[in-house]
Amino acid sequence: MNRIEERFGALKEKGQKGLVVYMGAGDPDLEATRELALAFDEVGADVLELGIPFSDPLADGPVNQMAAQRGLESGTTPSKVLETVKMIRLDSQIPIVFFVYYNLLHRHGLGAFIKDSAAAGVDGILILDLPPEESEDYSQLMVESGLCPVFLVAPTTPDSRIKSIVEHGKGFIYYVSREGVTGMQSKVSGNISSMIDRIHQHTDLPIAVGFGISNPDQAKAVAEMGDAIVVGSAIVNQIAEQGKSDTLVPTVSHFVGSLAQAVKEV
């Protein structure tokens, strides 16, 4: 059982919901990524998603696309992100999931990337553009390395495909609550509860709901329906606003702490 499974198991025992937070690695630089990761752990985040910057992030909206661009401009590479995870592991055991596009794994070497991720202290990988039907080698290598392959389910996913997707997943299922790309929204989707029920008909894995959650009130509302929530663009937007200022870590971690408190009140 890896850290993701342990964390969700502990949350279930306590009757609590989880908070999954996302940030782009290397935005504004990798030292900031390390410091933010440690701060997020301290204020109550349950899982950290690290986006490895990629030049063509088609599943991401403008906020996360710009984070990827800033990560590339700061010299961030997959190998450097792996080294940063090793540094995080010196001080924290927060579960870490890589949020990545398949091209980067292909370039690094699929087996080597998974092996190196496990050695660095990564717990799971979410590949945005790898269909489950084409993931047999990947899923097998992940399980052999003790990592959780995390897969996405969308509002438009039919039941037959939900069943196929969740059979390949471990750790948790990421339910994308909106069609389209990532980004902040003024209100949450209205069909979350019914979709979670549909997904749970095919799996006992925890379901983390993301795409569009922007503030503590939305976080609390969605956490009442799912097993966890995912907040990304709202965090990335604050990182962009703070940049390399001295207020970066305290400001953004305060926001993450407010999300964690809202989720734990459910």
* 161 Cβ contact partners less than 8 Å away, ≥ 6 residues apart: none
Q: Which residues of 53-76 are buried (b: 16+ CB within 10 A; e: fewer)?
A: bbeebebbbebbbbbbbbbbebeb
Measured between alpha carbons, how far is 234 from 4 in angstroms, rounded to an integer? 23
How far is C-alpha 145 from the geometric centre of its chain's CA atoms?
A: 19
Cβ atoms of 50 and 88 closer than 8 Å: no
Residue 28 pLDDT: 98
- Domain 3-259 listed as CATH 3.40.50.720: no
Cβ distance 222 to 229 under 8 Å? yes
Quick: pLDDT tens for 33-53: 999 999 999 999 999 999 999
Q: How far apart are CA 145 and CA 29, in angstroms?
A: 29
Of the candidates 5, 27, 29, 49, the residue annotated as catalytic is: 49
* Rg, Å, the chain Cα set: 17
Determine which of 38-42, 78-82, 173-177, 203-207 has the lowest per-residue pLDDT on average. 173-177
Q: pTM of the predicted model, to two decimals?
A: 0.95
pLDDT given for residue 252 in this prediction: 98
Strand 96-100 and strand 148-153: the pairing is unpaired
For residue 96, give the H/E element and its range. Answer: strand 96-100
Whether 133 sits among the annotated catalytic residues: the reply is no
**Sign of the C-alpha dihedral computed for residues 55, 56, 60 and 66 taken in this order:** positive
- Residues 155-201 pLDDT 10s: 999 999 999 999 999 999 999 986 544 444 445 556 899 999 999 99
56 is catalytic: no
Active-site hit among 29, 60, 123, 227: 60
Q: Cα–Cα distance between 111 and 126 in angstroms, integer?
A: 15
Q: How far is CA 72 from the centre of its chain?
A: 19
User: Which of 134-148, 150-164, 177-191, 248-262 shows the lowest per-residue confidence on average (mean pLDDT)?
Assistant: 177-191
Flag whether pLDDT at 119 surpasses 60.
yes
Burial of 188 (0-12, 13-18, 19+ CB in 10 A): buried
